[in-house]
Structure 1
Amino acid sequence: MLRFGAVSYLNTKPLVETLDQRLSDWGTLRLDLPSRLAADLAGGELDIALIPSVEYFRNQSRYQIVSDAAIACRGPVWSVRLLSRVPISDIQTLALDEGSRTSAAMSQVLLSEMHHIRPETVPFPIGSDASDVDADAVLMIGDRAMHPPRETYREIWDLGDRWVRWTELPFVFAMWVARRDVCTNPDQLKRIEETLSASRDDGMQCLEKIAIREAASQGLTNEDLHRYFAENLHFYLGPGERSGLKLFREKATAIGLAPPPPAVSGNNA
């Protein structure tokens, strides 16, 4: 039985809608936090996992992308925002949401590239309120970013929108990867690829149903959540997404937030 792991966040729902059923006789699925999934994949406790792109960069010599299903955006993403109390170019301290290392790196890449600044970073703990954080700007992800802040900010960036405008490329937040030892059997690899893509396709066919089921617990309307799935997120890892992933790797490496890519052959971004 292969061991699959996926992020237990709202944006993952369309990718795993039918995955449990599709794995019924040959795999198991566990939902968990990104940091735990990354640690368990690296430690051999999982075989395949949907992990943040930065975590893939850190272990790329040991990992292989195994599906064209992913969590990406091609414009405003809504659930990843930078909120600044000062003009962007004046930011000296940046509070980073502890829920995502990828969005943290993305925000710092954009500030470095667009405004040539490298603010001091401080933690923005999960469960805390932005008004309690002493920093010029705050990175918010997930439901915290999707609800209007009570505080007034000088500038608010949707980081998906900023990335796409700056690079003219999509941004990839997470993708399915496996340890390379899991990918040695071509038939098994093909089954993994087809199953993950089919589960994504199933989810795309029932976005409205997922939105109705999940909206109330997120404090969102059915319509808003359906729009988030259908318009703000993109669930396909195509050539444009791979180009965006490669550029993100290069820029994150340039400012010390990711290691250089390894010199290996195979199916790598």
Structure 2
Amino acid sequence: MNSQSLGNIKFINCLPLHFGLSHGGFGERLPIYSATPAELNQLIVTEQLNISPVSSIIYAQNSEKLVVLPNVSISAEKALESIILVSKYPIEQLKQARIALTSKSATSHGLLKIIMHHAYQASPEYFVSPLSLGEGVLDNAEAVLFIGDDALMAYHHQVAGYYYYDLGGEWKKLTGLPMVYAVWVVNRKFAEMNKEYVQMVYEKVTGGFRYGLTHIADAAHTLQDKFSLTSEQIIHYIGLLNYQFSPAHEEALLRYYKMAHGLGLSPKITEIEFAKVVK
């Protein structure tokens, strides 16, 4: 892996960028390393990667050594179908429950804890597990948190007798705000020493997203044989997401950081520092 590689989330939520990089020419001369959010988080924190999308809470936990690329994120205004709590019981009955958390992300962990604390006055026992869909996933817990493609599969193939909660919808009910799940970050020192390269990557990422969203039907067609989802379901899902980073997204992310800090999940963050690029 090249330290100048662009990290890339290997979930359907990044399909527009995947397609723009691979089919729109935006990936030319750009080494790319694809992994889960949790893997990319670790690679950024340990400086094995210098530019990558990460779970948004990672910036709060490492803001002294990271800056954020402007105008790009993975966000949603409300329910998004890919951060799903599957429970044996109604959520109001999980106050002292054991809840298994996917090991593939970090922002979703904080989001669930915030929602359970503030919306349901609950203090469950949380534990991280390498979850996957299948029999026995609820053997050792009253509820499980899935993200990404696993969550999408769970949402679209619900099993009778279980309860399904979309955390994007729960966050919207709690705060009235959108939720920012991932941001693209750059190692601060790397950004200072490689301004032209960072500018080039910024243009490829934002351009790749624009291309992929413009050709989303073609992009969805490339995945329909890889997942138990139709092209229409994939296009619908992508339509629930927002890939910009507006002032409203910044406000929402700072609210999330404030609430995460209140639960001891991250340091206090009052502003977001962006990489200096020409927009």
TM superposition score normalised by structure 2: 0.86
Offset, 1:168: 1.5
Match of 1:10 among 12, 16, 19: 12
What is the 5 A alignment of 1:175-254? Answer: 175-184=183-192, 186-230=195-239, 232-254=240-262
Tell me the equivalent position of 1:267: 274
* 1:109, distance to aligned residue in structure 2 (A): 0.7
How far has the Cα of 1:195 moved from its partner? Answer: 2.3
Task: In structure 1, list runs of 5 or more residues that go unmatched.
Answer: none
User: 3-state SS of the aligned residue for 2:190?
Assistant: helix
1:168 maps to 2:176: yes
SS in 2 for 1:157: strand
Partner of 2:38: 35
Question: Partners of 2:238 and 2:185 in 1: how far apart?
Answer: 22
Deviation at 1:22, TM superposition (A): 2.7
SS at structure 1 position matched to 2:89: coil
CA offsets, 1:92-118, max 9 Å, x none? 221212222211211111111101112
Q: CA deviation at 1:130?
A: 6.5
Residues 109-120 of structure 1: pairs in structure 2 closer than 5 A: 109-120=114-125
| Secondary structure in 2 matching 1:178 | strand
Which residue, out of 56, 61, 64, partners 1:58?
Answer: 61
Distance 1:80 1:51, change over 3 A: same
**Aligned match of 1:135 in 121, 133, 141?**
141
Could you tell me whether the CA contact under 8 Å between 2:70 and 2:274 is conserved in 1?
A: no
- Aligned counterpart for 1:22 among listed residues 26, 49, 57: 26
Instruction: Give secondary structure in 1 for the equivalent of 2:6.
Output: strand
d(CA) in 1 for partners of 2:197, 2:271? 22
Q: Percent identity?
A: 24
1:145-188 CA-to-partner distances (Å, cap 9, x unmatched) read: 223233512x4211111112221211111111100112225544
CA contact (8 A) 2:68 2:273 kept: no
Instruction: Say whether the 8 Å CA contact 1:6–1:51 is kept in structure 2.
Output: no
Which residue matches 1:99?
A: 104
Residue 160 of structure 1 aligns with an amino acid whose one-letter code is G
What RMSD over aligned residues (CA atoms) do the two structures have, in Å?
A: 2.3
- Residues 68, 236 of structure 1: 8 Å contact kept: yes
SS at match of 1:215: coil
Q: 1:130 to 1:198 in 2, by over 3 A?
A: same
SS of the residue corresponding to residue 51 of structure 1 reads: strand
Conserved? CA contact 1:67–1:197, under 8 Å: no
Aligned equivalents of 1:76, 1:169: Cα separation in 2: 11
How many residue pairs are counted as aligned between the two chains? 264
Shift of 1:194: 2.3
> Which portions of structure 1, spanning 4 or more consecutive aligned residues, are displaced by more than 6 angstroms?
none
| CA drift at 1:84 | 2.5
Which stretch shows the higher mean deviation, 241-250 or 93-102? Answer: 93-102
TM-score normalised to structure 1 length: 0.89
Distance between the aligned counterparts of 2:135 and 2:100, measured in 1?
9
